[in-house]
Amino acid sequence: MAIFAIAPQRNFAPMKTQTTLRWLNFALFGLALWFFGNLYEEVILMPNWLVAPLDVLQAYNRYYTVVIQYHYYVPITQVAVIVLIVCCFTANPARQQAGRDLGRAAIWGTIALVLTAWIVLSLNLDLFIGQLTLTETEAHRKGLIWMLGNGVRLICVGLSLWYTIRVRDAIR
């Protein structure tokens, strides 16, 4: 009789692990999308912004009225971090290290989200949205600040991505 009471628990654990793995894979997709999108902006987009005359920067802004950047990032990147946070409270990784790494992934992802909110509200609205009304000096200064902030954000997203990969590999 005791064997039948234990059997459902053994079947439940792998199912929960498989569900967790699916959610972690979704989070990995969102984090990788975020990381490589911001890496592209850091390496290609902003250096062009910083060396271009103001009329070229205005042409970029006209381009971004048609190709809207946030369609690339919203809502997948934010949902990926929310998935990590939810997994912290619902997943039960078999290894204690995997649980700590899952918490670290969620913390670094949350820091990246907060930093992104600051970058969007204090820099992107002036640099990328609508008519460029800044002077060339002010646009250059804000572009430099954006590059530094984005560099820090890349580190945070990269760490979240790395810890998530470690957790996924540990419970696979």
Q: Per residue in 121-130, pLDDT tens?
A: 999 888 877 7
Backbone angles phi, psi at 151, to 5 degrees: -60, -45
Give the per-residue pLDDT at 86.
94
pLDDT in tens, 9-54: 333 344 468 888 999 999 999 999 999 999 998 998 888 877 877 8
pLDDT per residue as tens digits for the range 61-72:
887 777 777 777
pTM of the full structure: 0.84
